[in-house]
Amino acid sequence: MAPEAAELIKAGLALDPDERAVVANRLLASLHDDRGGEDQVAVDAAWRDEITRRLDEVLDGSVTPVDADEHYAQLRGRIAAGTE
C-alpha cells in the first residue's frame, strides 16, 4: 500500500461514523462511476423503490421482521421435514 493511501485511511478512521459513511459511500461509488450509465440509474431507482416498499411494510405492521438465525433454523427444519 502506498504511503499516501495509508495516510488517507488513518485520516478517514479519525472521522466520526457519519462522516466515514459519507466518504466510504463516495469512494465505493467512484469505482462504478464509469459503468452502468442509464441502466445503473434504473437499477438504483428500482432498489430504492424496493427498500422503501419493504420499510413501509415493516412500519405499517403488515410484515414482521424475523431474526436471520431464527429464519435459517426454520428453513433447516422445513428442509429436514421434507416440506421444502
Looking at residue 15, its pLDDT comes to: 95
pLDDT in tens, 24-50: 988 988 887 665 567 878 888 999 999
Looking at residue 13, its pLDDT comes to: 95
What pTM was computed for the model? 0.45
Characterize 22-47 residue by residue with b for buried, 16 or more Cβ atoms within 10 angstroms of its Cβ, and e for exposed: eeeeeeeeeeeeeeeeeeeeeeeeee
**How many Cβ atoms are within 10 Å of 79's Cβ, its own excluded?**
10
Percent of the chain with pLDDT over 90: 68
